[in-house]
């Protein structure tokens, strides 16, 4: 494969500024890295948090993007898992140490020294990206590049969020019906659960979308569902939703916060938590989550709803996400 010296990338110079199109050097893969020719890269809410300065200490200047689908263009000398030409996915969790107490017990999502694609490592809003071979996933056949991109974060972290809701869930609430919710709702429905979708008040389009992907009920986040929930997943970055979700959740139920950032949670009376309700968060993903979810996706089969944008339209895609004007997931075509 012919690899050019320079490439186009949308670069964040400093939080608070829009991304700018730059010509930069094509990165060279280290010994354990693959160089990926990017075909598509999803736009995730976490990208928005980085741009808005809500996540501390990003690499700067930074290439965002951690839902990368592409083909291996070159391999480092120790790479064994992938060959040139193979299609791979690069997710958020970009590197882990393999040695810390968390890595040793299979919780590499909590690694003390973890590095993250499109945050502390350069990501996929570019024509090429490098990635550690151990963090990349082979991708299922039967999906186009664009349709796979949202599976790599919205899908993967959505899946971890869903799994952490625990066993025996029949009535599942989902707060914030965007990229992650529309994928996980399909998994939940395929496993026989009744899905209740909550959107911003007045978002009739979002509620119709939720019903299309299998929700039995869709309403405003200020409403109570027609029956109490066994578990609720929160994908919108709004702390007050935790209270609404707890109030809608039955005894012994679990509320899982799936986002990396949330506005402050207002104080609330103990009775909302009483009767063994559980509140927990989800951080990142493990390799096992990725392998399980990517094997599950074609069996459901999960259908992704995407809005495509060109690389140079990354700012527009981020703006639309910020304003809640996307149906499904935004994906950059590279
Ligand atoms: Zn993400
Ligand atoms: Zn570690």
Distance (angstroms) between ligand 2 centre and the Cα of 134 equals 13
Distance (angstroms) between ligand 2 centre and the Cα of 100 equals 4
Distance (angstroms) between ligand 2 centre and the Cα of 136 equals 17
Distance (angstroms) between ligand 2 centre and the Cα of 32 equals 17
Least Cα distance to 39 among 95, 81, 80, 85 occurs for 85
Token pair 């495509």: residue? 308
CATH 3.90.180.10 residue ranges for the chain: 6-152+304-333
Distance (angstroms) between ligand 2 centre and the Cα of 255 equals 27
Alpha-carbon distance 108 to 288, whole Å? 10
Ligand at shortest distance from the CA of 47: 1
Query: Quick one: pLDDT at residue 177?
Result: 93
Residue 307 has pLDDT above 80, yes or no: yes
Token pair 């890295």: residue? 33
What count of other Cβ atoms lies within 10 Å of the Cβ of residue 330? Answer: 28
Distance (angstroms) between ligand 1 centre and the Cα of 154 equals 6
CA 11 to chain centre: 20
CA end-to-end span of the chain: 17
Read off the tokens for 48. Answer: 């928005």
Instruction: Note the pTM of the prediction, 2 decimals.
Output: 0.94
Q: pLDDT tens digits for 117-167?
A: 999 999 999 999 999 999 999 999 999 999 999 999 999 999 999 999 999
Q: pLDDT tens digits for 14-48?
A: 999 999 999 999 999 999 999 999 999 999 999 99
Distance (angstroms) between ligand 2 centre and the Cα of 70 equals 27
Ligand at shortest distance from the CA of 124: 1
Distance (angstroms) between ligand 1 centre and the Cα of 42 equals 8
Distance (angstroms) between ligand 1 centre and the Cα of 269 equals 32
Read off the tokens for 199. Answer: 């959107």
Distance (angstroms) between ligand 1 centre and the Cα of 320 equals 16
Query: Quick one: pLDDT at residue 328?
Result: 86
Query: Quick one: pLDDT at residue 137?
Result: 97
Residue 2 has pLDDT above 90, yes or no: no
Distance (angstroms) between ligand 1 centre and the Cα of 161 equals 13
Distance (angstroms) between ligand 2 centre and the Cα of 284 equals 13
Distance (angstroms) between ligand 2 centre and the Cα of 157 equals 19
Beta-carbon contacts of 334 under 8 Å, excluding residues fewer than 6 positions away, are 38, 39, 40, 41, 70, 124, 126, 127, 311
Fold of the domain built from segment(s) 6-152+304-333: Quinone Oxidoreductase; Chain A, domain 1 (3.90.180)
Q: Pairing relation of β-strands 6-12 and 20-25? A: antiparallel
Ligand at shortest distance from the CA of 46: 1
Query: Quick one: pLDDT at residue 96?
Result: 97
Residue 50 has pLDDT above 90, yes or no: yes
CATH 3.40.50.720 residue ranges for the chain: 156-281
Alpha-carbon distance 304 to 61, whole Å? 31
Q: pLDDT tens digits for 71-126?
A: 999 999 999 999 999 999 999 999 999 999 999 999 999 999 999 999 999 999 99
Mean pLDDT of 248-271: 97
Ligand at shortest distance from the CA of 118: 1
Q: Pairing relation of β-strands 33-43 and 329-333? A: antiparallel
Ligand at shortest distance from the CA of 66: 1
Distance (angstroms) between ligand 1 centre and the Cα of 27 equals 22
Residue 332 has pLDDT above 90, yes or no: yes
Peptide bond into 10 cis (omega under 30): no
Alpha-carbon distance 119 to 47, whole Å? 8
State the average pLDDT for the chain.
96
Ligand at shortest distance from the CA of 108: 2
Ligand at shortest distance from the CA of 98: 2
Confidence of residue 324 (pLDDT cuts 50, 70, 90): confident
Distance (angstroms) between ligand 1 centre and the Cα of 251 equals 31
Alpha-carbon distance 232 to 225, whole Å? 11
Distance (angstroms) between ligand 2 centre and the Cα of 286 equals 12
Distance (angstroms) between ligand 1 centre and the Cα of 227 equals 31
CATH architecture for segment(s) 156-281: 3-Layer(aba) Sandwich (3.40)
């Amino acid at each position: 494969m012919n690899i050019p010296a320079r490439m186009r990338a949308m670069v964040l110079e400093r939080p608070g500024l829009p991304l700018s199109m730059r010509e930069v050097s094509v990165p060279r893969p280290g010994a354990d890295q693959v160089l990926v020719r990017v075909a598509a890269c999803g736009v995730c809410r976490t990208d928005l948090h980085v741009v808005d300065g809500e996540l501390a200490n990003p690499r700067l200047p930074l290439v965002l993007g951690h839902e990368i689908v592409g083909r291996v263009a070159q391999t480092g000398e120790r790479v064994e898992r992938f060959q040139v030409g193979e299609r791979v996915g690069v997710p958020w969790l970009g590197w882990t140490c393999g040695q810390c107490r968390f890595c040793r017990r299979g919780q590499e999502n909590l690694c003390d020294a973890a590095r993250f694609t499109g945050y502390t490592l350069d990501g996929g809003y570019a024509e090429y990206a490098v990635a550690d071979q151990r963090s990349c996933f082979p991708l299922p056949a039967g999906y186009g590049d664009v349709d796979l991109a949202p599976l790599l974060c919205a899908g993967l972290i959505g899946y971890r969020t869903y799994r952490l809701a625990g066993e025996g869930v029949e009535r599942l609430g989902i707060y914030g019906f965007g990229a992650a919710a529309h994928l996980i709702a399909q998994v939940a429905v395929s496993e026989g659960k009744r899905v209740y979708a909550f959107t911003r008040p007045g978002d009739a389009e979002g509620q119709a979308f939720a019903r299309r992907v299998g929700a039995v009920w869709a309403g405003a986040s200020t409403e109570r569902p027609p029956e109490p929930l066994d578990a609720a997943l929160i994908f919108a970055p709004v702390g007050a939703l935790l209270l609404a979700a707890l109030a809608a959740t039955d005894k012994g139920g679990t509320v899982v916060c799936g986002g990396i950032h949330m506005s402050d949670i207002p104080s609330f009376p103990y009775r909302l938590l009483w009767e063994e309700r559980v509140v927990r968060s989800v951080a990142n993903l493990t390799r096992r989550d990725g392998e399980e979810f990517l094997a599950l996706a074609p069996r459901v089969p999960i259908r992704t709803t995407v809005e495509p944008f060109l690389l140079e339209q990354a700012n527009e895609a981020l703006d639309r996400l910020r304003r809640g004007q996307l149906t499904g997931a935004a994906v950059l075509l590279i």
